[in-house]
Amino acid sequence: MAHASTLFVGLDVHQETIAVAYVGEEREAEVVSVGTIGTRQGDIDKLMRKLHSKGKTLHFVYEAGPCGYWLYRYLTKKDRRCWVVAPSQIPKQAGDRVKTDRRDAVQLARLRRSGDLSPVYIPSVEDEAIRDVVRAREDVLKDLKAAKVRLKAFLLRQDMRYEGRANWTAAHRRWLATVVCPTPAQQIVFQEYVRAVSEQTERLQRLEAELPPLVQTGRWAPVVEAIQALRGVQFIAAVTLIAELGELTRFATPRQLMSDLGLVPSEHSSGERRRQGSITKAGNSHARRVLVEGAWAYRYPAKVSRHLQLRVETVPKAIQEISWKAQVRLCKRYRRLVARGTNINQVVVAIAREMAAFVWAIAREVAVGH
């Protein structure tokens, strides 16, 4: 063990500490817990020097988490192999009820040696920057929705009702400017709620303004433009898909992409009995949500609208054909499933699953074209 050719090193990474364990590639080798180190680069360098005295090649592995990918990037910059694995994909024993940093590091080292782990996709720094903007926009959308709900709830308590046809239009905002509350204190509360909505709206506009130049100057511009040829996939949805999933051609088949998105049915089979349940919801929830939202567009008959035509006419003929093929197939499938009596939410998820296949096909076509 003192001179193993390869060491598999498990790291349980936290904000201030990293629990470390390693094991040699020999089957009879025991996992050794090193203990806890700090998270500074000097601590990482010291660990690598220590482990090099025990093994020539080091293979690191740690769980994806709130600490991000800085450790992966630092180790790969030092020419060390490193995997980042999804916590949901780590095998766990049913009877194991003890969880500590040390045990987690030991388990990662052991599973890495046995080949029971699979790495997740690691975006580049530039790709992660786009993803951060996309996720910040999603956070602002949630804050904006909450601010609007609070304002409407306040007006409802005061029995102040807007009689117009739609909320948050220019007419609705003009009406809000005429609202007068019974007391000065309530007027202050009302103005603060209105101000919160305005601030969140401005934040949303600023973030959305950042996305076009980021995408246009990046390597994803062709595939983002091409994916928008699909009905239900506009600019924000296309950017979200690419920012979250990265290189779509890394999936060998559309089914692999569907599985990565968690859009395939869960299954529990034993013997001759085969039982399928709801979708697994594994993988990237942001990309899955975008596809499910876009799938609602196929509840209407197949048609190239004016907005879709403007997006389609800028892409190659082969992608236009994929777009129309997707419309014909998915609109027909939506009507057929609804006529069968399938729950509407299940229908939309089924459409989203097939949309993923067409997204994959378009990305593959772009890759071939370039």
Q: Other CB atoms closer than 10 Å to residue 217's CB: what's the count?
A: 9
Lowest mean per-residue pLDDT among 118-122, 183-187, 237-241, 321-325 = 118-122
Look at residue 273 in the predicted model and tell me its pLDDT. Answer: 80
| 366, two tokens | 């772009």
**Residues facing 59 on adjacent strands:** 8, 81
Query: What average pLDDT does the structure give for the chain?
Result: 94
Instruction: State residue 243's pLDDT score.
Output: 95
Averaged pLDDT for residues 159-175: 93
Q: Hey, what are 66's tokens?
A: 């709130």
How many angstroms separate the CA atoms of 180 and 160, rounded? 10
Helix axes of 285-295 and 344-369: crossing angle, nearest 10 degrees: 110
Mean of pLDDT values over 47-60: 93
**Does the pLDDT value for residue 3 go beyond 80?**
no
* pLDDT at position 1: 46
DSSP string for residues in 261-285:
TT-SEEEEEETTEEEEEEE---S-H
3-state SS string for 207-228: HHHHHHHHHHCCCCHHHHHHHC
Q: Which residue has the higher pLDDT, 102 or 53?
A: 102
Pairing of the two strands 4-13 and 55-63: parallel
CA angle 59, 63, 66 (to 5 degrees): 130
Q: Which residue has the tokens 């364990």?
A: 21
Q: Residue 370 pLDDT > 90, yes or no?
A: no
Residue 201, pLDDT > 70, answer: yes
pTM: 0.91
Residue 2 has pLDDT above 80, yes or no: no
Is the Cβ–Cβ distance between 151 and 199 less than 8 Å?
no
Please give the backbone phi and psi of residue 231, each rounded to the nearest 5 degrees, phi first: -65, 135
pLDDT score recorded for residue 271: 78
| H/E stretch holding 239 | helix 235-245
- DSSP β-bridge partners for residue 58: 7
Query: Which of residues 266 and 180 earns the better pLDDT score?
Result: 180
The answer to whether 59 touches 81, Cβ cutoff 8 Å, is yes
Please write the tens of the pLDDT for every residue from 266-322: 887 777 787 888 898 888 999 999 999 999 999 999 999 999 999 999 999 999 999
User: Are the C-beta atoms of 352 and 289 separated by less than 8 Å?
Assistant: no
> Bigger pLDDT: 171 or 88?
171
Locate the DSSP E strands across 4-137: 4-13, 17-24, 32-38, 55-63, 81-85
Q: What angle do CA 341, 267, 121 make, to 5 degrees?
A: 110
First CA to last CA across the chain, in angstroms?
Answer: 49
What is the C-alpha separation between 137 and 209, in angstroms, rounded?
11
The model's confidence at residue 28, banded by pLDDT at 50, 70 and 90, is confident
Give per-residue pLDDT as tens, 319-355: 999 999 999 999 999 999 999 999 999 999 999 999 9
